[in-house]
């Protein structure tokens, strides 16, 4: 009998199709649990269950009544991971505990648990946007970073160097509709991402990504991920050890993890840990032995398979998330073929569509597209990504055209 994976995702795009392809390759079945059933495309058809990620109890009842027999669960995204953890407990299959997934989704709870475990964390406090912004600004250490508690991908994250900047950042985040914030001491240093998988509480690292661009604020838009890391072995070891300690502190026990860290003269600092793999198209930058995609490893692991030999395939790789330079309406792009022709570039994917309203960080949560490169060294990959990006010319209208109703 084929094993059956229940996949939780708030999108029906590239990464979900990768899971479907992986299931076919390994002879497994996949049912999608999503809040996007109204826009599902083939091949899912009736192999999808409608859920609501902000209503865990209600969604568990739907899953229970579906009669599904499940051998494993996986999740794409932070909110889906929380529901996946609750569903795993209900079905009695391995995954991260529900409490651990919740902690990963709550910046304040995560910081509290990490601090209690003795980890190196910035000073922090929690506030409500209905509180007195000036009073909170008087409490803050400077420079500091304001972070909405429930958002990810750097949305709403703003650095403030003094009290006026703090109040301005506070008001800007409040206009986004966020009600709770965390204020943290700004941690200087180089930034990294660690991709891994946890089995019975033990972390296995799949990749360490350097983020070559400085991320110093006032906003923290990620652009480049390059692996393997160019850092010396002691730094890499410190990053891995900090991630493993954070996994234990948060209670993560079975499944993928994606961690964000900084490193400076004091050592490694955990910024965030997510109970899911690296998101979306960025997963293409991780290719395991024999070209196996990351999603296939996650699927096999969720269904009880052996992944102890999972590792990068030896070739350097990287991705550039093409940032939105300004707000406006996307019109077109020039230079795609030139960008693809840069040595080392393996793909250029423009995800912005004509007429799309573009919103840059800190309010926005999307990119113009993605560039992918592979090469003999991380340095070669970084050069290829920057050269390829330099060939692109994006046309963005600064305002919507106004139609004359009398014309």
Looking up residue 321, the CATH number of its domain turns out to be 3.30.470.20
Average pLDDT over residues 260-264: 97
Task: Please give the Cα distance from 154 to 219 (Å, whole number).
Answer: 8
What are the backbone angles phi and psi of residue 86, rounded to the nearest 5°? Answer: -65, -40
Residue 242 located in a structural domain: no
Per-residue pLDDT band at 13 (split at 50, 70, 90): confident
Could you tell me which of 309, 358, 291, 306 has the C-alpha nearest to residue 331?
358
Q: Are residues 79 and 151 in the same domain?
A: no
> Exposure pattern of 141-158 as b/e (b: 16+ CB <10 Å)?
eebbbbbbbebbbbbbbb
Residue 90 located in a structural domain: yes
Residue 305 located in a structural domain: no
Q: Count CA atoms closer than 13 A to 327's CA, side-chain side.
A: 9
| Confidence (pLDDT) at 315 | 85
* Encoded tokens for 196: 């891994």
Report the 10 Å Cβ neighbour count for 125: 15
Is the pLDDT reported for residue 215 higher than 60?
yes
Coil, strand or helix at 353:
coil
**Which of residues 185, 212, 234 is at a domain's end?**
185
> Which residue shows structure tokens 């889906």?
80
Q: Are residues 84 and 133 in the same domain?
A: no
Structural domain tally of the chain? 3
> Which residue shows structure tokens 């693809």?
340
Per-residue pLDDT band at 11 (split at 50, 70, 90): confident
**Which of residues 73, 104, 135 is at a domain's end?**
104
Coil, strand or helix at 373:
strand
Task: Please give the Cα distance from 307 to 310 (Å, whole number).
Answer: 5
Per-residue pLDDT band at 14 (split at 50, 70, 90): confident
What are the backbone angles phi and psi of residue 399, rounded to the nearest 5°? Answer: -155, 150
Asked whether the beta carbons of 78 and 105 are under 8 A apart, the reply is yes
Average pLDDT over residues 23-42: 80
Asked whether the beta carbons of 376 and 341 are under 8 A apart, the reply is no
* Encoded tokens for 91: 């079905």
**Which of residues 34, 69, 104 is at a domain's end?**
104
Q: Are residues 381 and 330 in the same domain?
A: yes
* Encoded tokens for 28: 């497994």
> Which residue shows structure tokens 């792009």?
333
DSSP string, 71-83: SEEEEESHHHHHH
Asked whether the beta carbons of 186 and 140 are under 8 A apart, the reply is no
Q: Are residues 100 and 139 in the same domain?
A: no
Least confident of 229-233, 333-337, 346-350, 400-404: 400-404
Residue 68 located in a structural domain: yes
What are the backbone angles phi and psi of residue 374, rounded to the nearest 5°? Answer: -140, 150
| Confidence (pLDDT) at 20 | 87
Residue 378 located in a structural domain: yes
CA 246 to chain CA centroid, Å, is 17
Could you read off the pLDDT of 82-100 as tens digits, one per residue? Answer: 999 999 999 999 999 999 9
Coil, strand or helix at 200:
coil
| Confidence (pLDDT) at 44 | 55
- Beta-bridged to residue 73, according to DSSP, are 6
Task: Please give the Cα distance from 40 to 126 (Å, whole number).
Answer: 38
Q: Are residues 78 and 167 in the same domain?
A: no
With a pLDDT cut of 90, the percent of the chain lying above it is 79
- Beta-bridged to residue 227, according to DSSP, are 317
| Confidence (pLDDT) at 404 | 41
Q: Are residues 68 and 135 in the same domain?
A: no
Task: Please give the Cα distance from 229 to 211 (Å, whole number).
Answer: 9
Could you tell me which of 238, 244, 249 has the C-alpha nearest to residue 196?
244
Per-residue pLDDT band at 352 (split at 50, 70, 90): very high
Per-residue pLDDT band at 406 (split at 50, 70, 90): very low
Q: Are residues 55 and 8 in the same domain?
A: yes
Least confident of 308-312, 319-323, 371-375: 308-312
* Encoded tokens for 309: 């030999």
| Confidence (pLDDT) at 37 | 64
Q: Are residues 68 and 128 in the same domain?
A: no
Asked whether the beta carbons of 368 and 332 are under 8 A apart, the reply is no
How many residues in the chain? 407
Residue 365 located in a structural domain: yes
Residue 367 located in a structural domain: yes
Residue 197 located in a structural domain: no
| Confidence (pLDDT) at 292 | 85
Average pLDDT over residues 227-231: 96
The CATH number that applies at residue 141 is 3.30.1490.20
Report the 10 Å Cβ neighbour count for 387: 17
Task: Please give the Cα distance from 382 to 78 (Å, whole number).
Answer: 28
Structural domain containing residue 128:
123-185
Q: Cis bond leading into 43, ω under 30°?
A: yes
Asked whether the beta carbons of 328 and 228 are under 8 A apart, the reply is no
The CATH number that applies at residue 16 is 3.40.50.20
- Beta-bridged to residue 160, according to DSSP, are 144
Asked whether the beta carbons of 76 and 282 are under 8 A apart, the reply is no
Where are the strands (E) in 165-232, listed by range? 180-185, 190-199, 202-211, 224-227
pTM of the model: 0.92
């Amino acid at each position: 009998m084929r094993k059956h994976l229940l996949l939780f995702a708030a999108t029906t795009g590239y990464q979900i199709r990768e899971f479907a392809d992986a299931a076919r390759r390994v002879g497994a079945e996949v049912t999608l649990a999503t809040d996007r059933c109204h826009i599902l495309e083939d091949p899912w058809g009736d192999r999808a269950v409608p859920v609501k990620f902000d209503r865990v109890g209600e969604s568990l009842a739907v899953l229970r009544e579906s009669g599904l027999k499940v051998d494993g669960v996986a999740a794409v995204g932070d909110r889906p991971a929380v529901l996946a953890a609750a569903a795993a407990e209900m079905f009695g299959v391995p995954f991260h505990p529900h409490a651990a997934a919740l902690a990963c989704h709550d910046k304040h709870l995560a910081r509290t648990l990490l601090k209690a475990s003795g980890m190196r964390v910035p000073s922090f406090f929690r506030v409500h946007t209905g509180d007195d912004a000036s009073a909170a600004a008087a409490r803050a250490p400077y420079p500091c970073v304001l972070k909405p508690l429930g958002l990810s991908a750097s949305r709403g994250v703003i650095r403030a160097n003094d009290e006026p900047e703090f109040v301005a950042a506070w008001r800007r985040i409040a206009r986004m509709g966020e009600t709770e914030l965390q204020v943290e001491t700004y941690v200087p240093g180089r930034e990294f991402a660690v991709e891994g998988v946890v089995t019975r509480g033990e972390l296995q690292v799949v990749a360490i990504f350097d983020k070559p661009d400085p991320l110093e604020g006032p906003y923290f838009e990620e652009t480049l991920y390059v692996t393997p890391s160019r850092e010396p072995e002691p730094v890499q070891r410190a990053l891995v050890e900090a991630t493993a300690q954070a996994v234990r502190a948060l209670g993560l026990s079975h499944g993928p993890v994606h961690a964000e860290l900084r490193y400076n003269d004091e050592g490694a600092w955990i910024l965030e840990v997510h109970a899911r793999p690296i998101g979306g198209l960025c997963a293409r930058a991780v290719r395991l032995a024999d070209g196996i995609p990351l999603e296939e490893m996650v699927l096999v692991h969720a269904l009880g398979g052996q992944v102890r030999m999972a590792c990068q395939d030896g070739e350097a790789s990287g991705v550039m998330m093409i940032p939105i330079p300004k707000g406006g309406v996307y019109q077109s792009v020039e230079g795609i073929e030139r960008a693809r022709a840069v040595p080392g570039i393996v793909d250029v994917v423009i995800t912005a569509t004509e007429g799309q309203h573009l919103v840059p960080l800190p309010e926005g949560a999307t990119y113009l597209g993605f560039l992918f490169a592979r090469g003999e060294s991380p340095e070669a990959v970084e050069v290829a990504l920057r050269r390829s990006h330099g060939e692109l010319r994006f046309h963005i209208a600064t305002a919507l055209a106004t139609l004359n109703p009398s014309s």
